[in-house]
Structure 1
Amino acid sequence: MGGWMTAGEGSGTGRDPSGTRSDLSGSAADVVQARDVAGGIHFHSTGREGASGESAPVPAQLPADVRGFVNRIADIEHMDRVLEQEEGSPGPAGVCVVTGTAGVGKTSLAVHWGHRVRHEFPDGQLYVNLRGYDPGEPVSAGQALERFLIALGVAPAALPTDLETRSALFRTLLAQRRLLIVLDNAATVKQVRPLLPGAGRCLVLVTSRSRLSGLVARDGAHRLDLELFDEPAAIELLYGTVAGYRSGDSEHEIVELAQLCARLPLALRIAAERAAVRPYMPMGELIENLRDESHLWSALSVEDDDEADAVRTVFAWSYRALPPQVARMFRLLGLHPGPEFSLHAAAALAAVPVREVSQLLDALVGAHLLEQIGRDRYQFHDLLRAYSTDQGRHCDSAEDRDAALERVLAWYVHTLDKCLNELPIPILEPVQDIELDSLPAGVQPLVFADPDSAAVWFDVERTNFVACVRLAVKTSNDRVAWQIPILLRGPFPPINAVDDWFATTELGLVAARRLGETAAEAILLDSMTMAYRQAHHLDKAEETGRKALEMFRRIGHPQGEALSLNQLALVNSAARRLTLAHSYLNEAEVLAERHNYTYILICVATNRPVIYRAAGRYQEAYDDAISALDLIRRSGSRIDEVDLSIEIMRAAHGLGRYDEAAYWAEATLPMSPTKLYDGVILLQYGNIQRDRGDPELALATYHRAAVILQQLGSHHREAETLDATGSAYAMLGRLEEAAHFYVEAANLYRRIVSNWGIAVALHHLAQASFDLGRSDSAKRYWNESLASLSEFDDPAAETLRESIDRSLRQLSTSNRESDRSDGI
């Protein structure tokens, strides 16, 4: 709607090259009153506040401790020594890599040890399964950081969009904390390195089948190579599992069973569970069955890997003992698109009632062929999922597998549709025109009782939405592949889920084009335009926006056309192509009035003052915003009212009506819906205080804004705050400090490739340099500023250009007079 702010603009930290400026830190909720401000201001923080400044819960993400954990005494002692060593080490955070073959018990050890020492980490534990060896897509570092940052209190809408900035924010939030971070099943160093704290008191525990030598060589990681169980430990695990269920088994038989399992904990647990549930079957008979299975597998296998063969042998031995319905459920679960699944998704896969499916899953969990990770949620060990998929290819027809996939994908589409109907987000036109396919037989989507339950389901299943779209494209279920991303264009923008947004939309476009679904392609292109604008890729946003507009016009879809025009107006406003922005917005308004699209008229009314103000036409911005206020209030949209109030405040400020602007700032701040809005309002309020002659008070307000914007990862707004802080110091005659802030602002603008921001900051830096008597530096900065302005032709750019030209002429005159004086 309003174009003044896009969530998740990225993050950065201001750095003073001279070292004379204090860092900004702490909570913006703290109040500072100051007249004379020296250097920076520190806002006291407890170290447990989220990036929004609100109190964040202490994360406790470790999975449940392993039941019946045995042995590993030497390994645990080794890890204890690593912890003791890192406690007194001043350098970077400690890293310990636990490596070993598949099924050797790396995760069990990491989780067990994590529970054992969690009291050493008062700020909590973070855990992620990176799924580096799953048949599906691994979890990327960016996805893992998103989960961690949210757990640390960062609002989803404030998440930085790029990996580098997410990683920097993560390091910032951990700098004063002591957490245990468990990175399970990592395949590559690339997955791990962005998740490492920069310094301090955290410990990172990584499990992997790979040695991850780069972490040892470059990051100083300790490595623990986990060996197979020795024979006593293997026997202890077997006895511990069957105790209370069997008696009379000889030690010789237990030893033989352990050897057939290659002393691998995963295989041992499955074999012991099968023995436990057959208490009257002699152990010798169980072993003979397993030995026969081993001979069969050896005959079929071309690999020379004793451990892998043992694991697969035990899988097959246990699988063949399952009742037919349980075995079918096991095979179908291997088709699920995502890494974990719910009871209801499993019911859709099998076309079986939920109550019956619950019993089937319980049987698989009891056989250690499936892991229950929460209420009604399950996952495979990656080796078991691969085995399940392989069995499905051999035992089920292609038609049966395709039907199961069609059912589960349809379940996700229809349940997502019902979820969105409950969530308090606008269903963006023309999405309402999309008709879903009818449900296959045996599929019953979830129904949500309230918005809270819908929101919980959406959050839990978000990873599976991406997996569903990816699988739908791969299997040519193309209608599902474009329907899911179209539905997701409503909930993704508010939570700033740009990674998933781009991934699903790009896949949906592939599917829509394969089917020749032009309307779906146009909607997805418009969604991509929104995503590019939110991620500040404005040239790409312009390109995709025009394609969407052309398609909507070609198929005669005026709603889509009007929304695309409004979207293009915002894109061009952000890029300072203001004449073009007005043109697009006027076209959108004509279409909206012709067809009585009230929602689009509200968008237009909110966005027009933005474009006027960007052009320096403050009176028109003010008049338009005031005239639209009643319409916006009648619509009942609080965010639109806040957006419009901010525009009134900014326009009044631009007109020099500082008291009125201050009134709007003070009235709007309590209405702010998010911390990001808090930061933007405080930044503008500081500008008002500065320009009405109170730079000392403005400095305190700027520092409050900077804390929020820095923590929330708003690059552009942070740079604005740095530049504004410099101007306040300049008003106080503290030119060295002003210059430091201008340098920081210019550097940050360069990082986000904002040529307008670079030009403004360099103009201010040049003036400070001139006032400090550094004529050569001033000339260089003004010329650089002019170069950055070359792409802009709006009135504000022309005004700035004229100001720089005057300054350069003044500088030239001053230099000539100085030369003549030197000649005398």
Structure 2
Amino acid sequence: MAAWRAGEVRTVADLARVLRELRRRHARRQGRPEPTYRELAAATGWSHGIIGEYLSGRILPPTERFDILIGLLGASPAEMGALATARDQVEENRRAAAPEQGPVPRQLPLDVFGFTGRAAQLAELDAALAAGERRPAVVISAVAGTAGVGKTALAVHWSHRVARRFPGGQLYMDLRGYDPGSPVTAADALAAFLRALGVRPADIPEDLDERAARYRTLLAGRRVLVVLDNAHGADHVRPLLPGSASCMVVVTSRDALTGLVAREGALRIDLTTLTAAEAAGLLRGLIGPRVDETPDDAAALAEACARLPLALRVAAEMATSRPTAPLSELVAELRDEARRLDLLDAAGDTRTAVRSVFSWSHRHLSGEAARLFDLLGLHPGREFDMYGAAALAGTGTARAAALLDELARGHLIEQAGPGRYAMHDLLRAFAVERATGGDEPLTRLFDHYLSTAAAAMDTLYPYERGRPAVPPPRTPGPPVGDADQASRWLERERPALVAVAVHAARHGRPRHAVDLSRVLWRHLEVHCHSTEALTLHGAAAEAALATGHGVAGVLTNLGAVHWWLGDHHQAGATFEQALASARREGDAEGEARVLGRLGLVHERLGDLDRSLAVMRAALAVFERTGNRHAQGTQFVNIGIMCRRLGRYEEAAAYQTRAAEVFTELGDRRLRGYALGNLGALDNLLGRYAEALEHLGRSLADCRAARDPGGEGSAIGTTGAVYLRLGRHAEALDHLHRALAISRETADRNLEVETLNTLGETLSAMGQPGAALTRHRAALTLAERTGDRYEHARATDGIAHVLARTGHEAEAREHWRAALATYRSLGVPDADRVPAGLGDPPPATP
């Protein structure tokens, strides 16, 4: 505990080291093993993952949690006071550095065309900004008003006017609080903001409070404008509020946001309908001279639209599409529509006026366009294109494109990118209200996504077996016949594919959800889309378990995501469930696929004999069924196990056979994996030139296949070769690149391996402090994931550093622990440890 007493705690890593020292001391005093992450999680009610983040130095605990944690770890009252001061100093150090770090987000949507009026409200926002520059707390302006009254337009227009006053950036999020679908949760919004502020996806905490704390820390001291659009209420936005007076927040909501005004001191700006003059000005800008030629009719048109900007814009488009019709004729039509709706809805408020305008506009669409508009409300995604529209309407793409153009001209949908469209939430709700007979259109839409995804996967992975037979599309699909087309379509439609799978799983279409999981798993895995994979496979697993359809395949996909994320115990449990299902179904290849994946879990958890046995069992099945691609995969995995166990000739033979199989089948990605493993083997055997040659080819293959995980592995292993060659600067460069990739892709296995190699490199360079930090980070991560080999390797590395810095007793203790694990694993690394137990460590190559 001398470090913090001496005032040397300056960084989050320093503070984490003190927490780990507290944990060790508390265990010694209690005469018990150190409390595990899961035990600390059970005692606090937090996730074991966030405990690991605190003790690894990846996240600074909030003040309240820090006090609880050090109390649990046995800190005395005097120590708690000193440590609290140290923690606050760390936060202050980070705050001072924050303005210099990270990208500057510029997220405001396009300014509103033809914005008119609202002078008083714009002045209120200007005054709030001016006052905020003199206040010690964050300024919050809450724009409240009914649907369609122009809250978003006001917030976006004003934000563009003052953007230059916020050099730290502008963050924008449509929270979809009143969308017919699910609102954007605070947790998801925080994740998006953290990514925009430069946080790698793998570094975003799981816990909502931790995300909010990280967000506030990054914004502290920065001049940032945050626009939170379409909030459902005060509780929806509270986690998204910065803590720094340097920021300003604009919230829009249909809710009065009373709680935000009362608790957070927000300035509420109540937005009512436009004044008569403002409404006339908006119509004048949109329609032209006819407004001044017949001002009374223009005023009547404005009143028929309840002077709501959204309704006025839709009505103005109707007027411009009929340039010879007098405005009085349009007003009469709209009044007739209002009377019709009044018979159905006697609310008599602005909602009736909005629906009147929408319904009036809808009646003037062609029959096909009106039907398509109704059906678009059923689409579970946020965006759509002409192919999705064609599937819903059951028509050709040329006709669908024309109908979408008609809807866009009428302001009933809006462009969201080249060839892509979206719908305002009010219009979406109106469409949903009108939609009838949606079962057949939704079946066509879901079949379109499933069949196109399957065709794209056939293009990209023609050698893959086990993809389900899917119904042929009943409407034209996009071109996915070459690799670039297929890859672009899968990436562009990824959010829609996930949304379709989740909707299908929860609304009586389990087969679509299950089949999307079975079709898309490899694409999501190759491109490291772990968040989307977890959502899609999780929803599909619920559907599969409820119906009994495709259980083994979907659970195998879900387990693979858990393995990638380093949750090896959960992965193992999911694979065991999948294995039982495959055996019940009599699915030999499905069983073998699960066994191969289960072998990877056993390897990480330290049961190497069992790992090798199940991998060999999987290989035997694939040899019987003639599945060459799956055989190649098992050659790679068995070769890795043989290398780990010191059976180097056998390892080389397996990897060579794998490379030959994948060359024959045209799978550059997995050929790259086999070549990378040959490079790792060459490195162990001192064949450095051959190692670099194999790794260069591996990197080229993985890049060609657009596999960031394989690329990171090749780069990291190249760094290990440079370490053995004594080319330390090149080693550090490669290892830092590999570490960045591991965190961007959430590949915990690559991350822990790279951290340990970085520790060894820094130790060889005579930087014991930095080496110790890397090895301890690896140790913490290995504890969290259950990776016994990398845990022993980290302990071994710490022992080397301790011995070199004169802490021989501690070094011997760490070497003994490493040796015990190496021997239990049966790996040759054990041979390096005994000679060093009482002597200086052997020199690092």
Identify if the C-alpha distance between structure 1 residues 628 and 301 changes in structure 2 by more than 3 Å, giving closer, same or farther: closer
The one of 354, 373, 376 equivalent to 1:311 is 354
- Are 1:645 and 2:690 matched, yes or no? no
The one of 105, 113, 135 equivalent to 1:67 is 113
Q: Distance in 1 between matches of 2:284 and 2:154?
A: 19
Identify if the C-alpha distance between structure 1 residues 688 and 348 changes in structure 2 by more than 3 Å, giving closer, same or farther: closer
- Match of 2:470? 436
Letter in 1 for 2:312: L
Contact 2:823 2:830 in 1 (8 A): no
Contact 1:730 1:768 in 2 (8 A): yes
- Are 1:271 and 2:337 matched, yes or no? no
1:217 Cα deviation from its structure 2 partner: 9.5
Which is worse superposed, 315-324 or 191-200?
191-200
Q: Distance in 2 between matches of 1:751 and 1:605?
A: 29
Q: C-alpha offsets along residues 200-247 of structure 1, whole Å, 9 cap, x if unaligned?
A: 999876544456789889999887654432332122112333324566
Matches within 5 A, 1:726-765: 726-731=759-764, 734-750=767-783, 754=787, 756-765=789-798
Q: Distance in 2 between matches of 1:191 and 1:508?
A: 28
The one of 304, 323, 328 equivalent to 2:371 is 328
Letter in 2 for 1:331: D
- Match of 1:425? 461
Contact 2:416 2:422 in 1 (8 A): yes
Identify if the C-alpha distance between structure 1 residues 561 and 745 changes in structure 2 by more than 3 Å, giving closer, same or farther: closer
Identify if the C-alpha distance between structure 1 residues 726 and 84 changes in structure 2 by more than 3 Å, giving closer, same or farther: farther
Identify if the C-alpha distance between structure 1 residues 81 and 246 changes in structure 2 by more than 3 Å, giving closer, same or farther: closer
1:731 Cα deviation from its structure 2 partner: 4.4
Letter in 2 for 1:585: M
The alignment partner of 2:493 has SS state of helix
Letter in 1 for 2:588: P
Q: Distance in 2 between matches of 1:691 and 1:95?
A: 57
TM-score if structure 2 supplies the norm length?
Answer: 0.73
The one of 12, 15, 18 equivalent to 2:13 is 15
1:631 Cα deviation from its structure 2 partner: 4.1
Identify if the C-alpha distance between structure 1 residues 793 and 122 changes in structure 2 by more than 3 Å, giving closer, same or farther: same
- Are 1:239 and 2:284 matched, yes or no? yes
Letter in 2 for 1:264: L
The one of 814, 825, 832 equivalent to 1:794 is 825
The alignment partner of 1:765 has SS state of helix
Which is worse superposed, 237-246 or 523-532?
237-246
Q: Distance in 1 between matches of 2:329 and 2:744?
A: 64
- Are 1:381 and 2:424 matched, yes or no? yes
1:515 Cα deviation from its structure 2 partner: 5.0
Q: C-alpha offsets along residues 379-400 of structure 1, whole Å, 9 cap, x if unaligned?
A: 22211221222223xxx4xxx3
1:698 Cα deviation from its structure 2 partner: 4.7
- Are 1:565 and 2:610 matched, yes or no? no
Which is worse superposed, 605-614 or 757-766?
757-766
Aligned residues: 748
Q: C-alpha offsets along residues 621-667 of structure 1, whole Å, 9 cap, x if unaligned?
A: 34543565444444443332332233233334434556655665566
Which is worse superposed, 177-186 or 640-649?
177-186
Q: C-alpha offsets along residues 408-461 of structure 1, whole Å, 9 cap, x if unaligned?
A: 222322233333334x23563211xx3223555xx3333446433333333332
RCO higher in 1 or 2 (8 Å CA, sep ≥ 6)? 1
Q: Distance in 1 between matches of 2:633 and 2:211?
A: 31
Q: Distance in 2 between matches of 1:377 and 1:622?
A: 50
- Are 1:109 and 2:109 matched, yes or no? no
Identify if the C-alpha distance between structure 1 residues 722 and 189 changes in structure 2 by more than 3 Å, giving closer, same or farther: farther
Contact 1:16 1:741 in 2 (8 A): no
Identify if the C-alpha distance between structure 1 residues 211 and 496 changes in structure 2 by more than 3 Å, giving closer, same or farther: farther
Percent identical among aligned pairs is: 34
- Match of 1:250? 295
The alignment partner of 2:384 has SS state of strand
Q: C-alpha offsets along residues 354-408 of structure 1, whole Å, 9 cap, x if unaligned?
A: 444444444433433333334443322211221222223xxx4xxx332222222
Contact 2:648 2:681 in 1 (8 A): yes
Contact 2:662 2:670 in 1 (8 A): yes
- Match of 1:401? 438
1:596 Cα deviation from its structure 2 partner: 2.0
Letter in 2 for 1:103: G
Letter in 2 for 1:419: A
The alignment partner of 1:373 has SS state of strand
Q: Distance in 2 between matches of 1:487 and 1:603?
A: 19
The alignment partner of 1:378 has SS state of strand
Matches within 5 A, 1:685-704: 685-691=718-724, 698-699=731-732, 702-703=735-736
Identify if the C-alpha distance between structure 1 residues 678 and 379 changes in structure 2 by more than 3 Å, giving closer, same or farther: closer
Q: Distance in 2 between matches of 1:415 and 1:472?
A: 17
- Match of 1:467? 499
1:19 Cα deviation from its structure 2 partner: 11
- Match of 2:533? 501
1:547 Cα deviation from its structure 2 partner: 3.3
- Are 1:533 and 2:567 matched, yes or no? no
Contact 2:673 2:698 in 1 (8 A): no
Q: C-alpha offsets along residues 310-340 of structure 1, whole Å, 9 cap, x if unaligned?
A: 3234334444455544433332222223223
Q: C-alpha offsets along residues 133-162 of structure 1, whole Å, 9 cap, x if unaligned?
A: 211233456766887899899999x89796
Q: Distance in 1 between matches of 2:265 and 2:465?
A: 53
Contact 1:104 1:227 in 2 (8 A): yes
1:353 Cα deviation from its structure 2 partner: 3.9
1:598 Cα deviation from its structure 2 partner: 1.0
Letter in 1 for 2:825: D
The alignment partner of 2:438 has SS state of helix
Letter in 1 for 2:180: P
Q: Distance in 2 between matches of 1:513 and 1:336?
A: 25
The alignment partner of 2:421 has SS state of strand
Letter in 2 for 1:267: A
The one of 351, 354, 360 equivalent to 2:394 is 351
Q: Distance in 2 between matches of 1:207 and 1:613?
A: 59
Matches within 5 A, 1:151-166: none
The one of 557, 579, 592 equivalent to 1:549 is 579
The alignment partner of 1:185 has SS state of strand
Q: Distance in 2 between matches of 1:691 and 1:342?
A: 53
- Are 1:134 and 2:167 matched, yes or no? no
Contact 2:632 2:662 in 1 (8 A): yes
Which is worse superposed, 659-668 or 96-105?
659-668
The alignment partner of 2:477 has SS state of coil
1:98 Cα deviation from its structure 2 partner: 4.7
- Are 1:390 and 2:416 matched, yes or no? no
1:492 Cα deviation from its structure 2 partner: 1.6
Contact 1:110 1:207 in 2 (8 A): yes
Q: Distance in 2 between matches of 1:447 and 1:17?
A: 54
Matches within 5 A, 1:48-197: 63-76=109-122, 98-113=143-158, 116=161, 129-139=174-184, 184-187=229-232
Identify if the C-alpha distance between structure 1 residues 358 and 651 changes in structure 2 by more than 3 Å, giving closer, same or farther: closer
The alignment partner of 1:452 has SS state of helix
Which is worse superposed, 535-544 or 725-734?
725-734
1:599 Cα deviation from its structure 2 partner: 0.6
- Match of 2:33? none
Which is worse superposed, 577-586 or 160-169?
160-169
The alignment partner of 1:340 has SS state of coil
Q: Distance in 2 between matches of 1:428 and 1:337?
A: 29
Identify if the C-alpha distance between structure 1 residues 641 and 203 changes in structure 2 by more than 3 Å, giving closer, same or farther: farther
Letter in 2 for 1:479: R
Contact 2:752 2:781 in 1 (8 A): yes
- Are 1:684 and 2:717 matched, yes or no? yes
Letter in 2 for 1:637: D
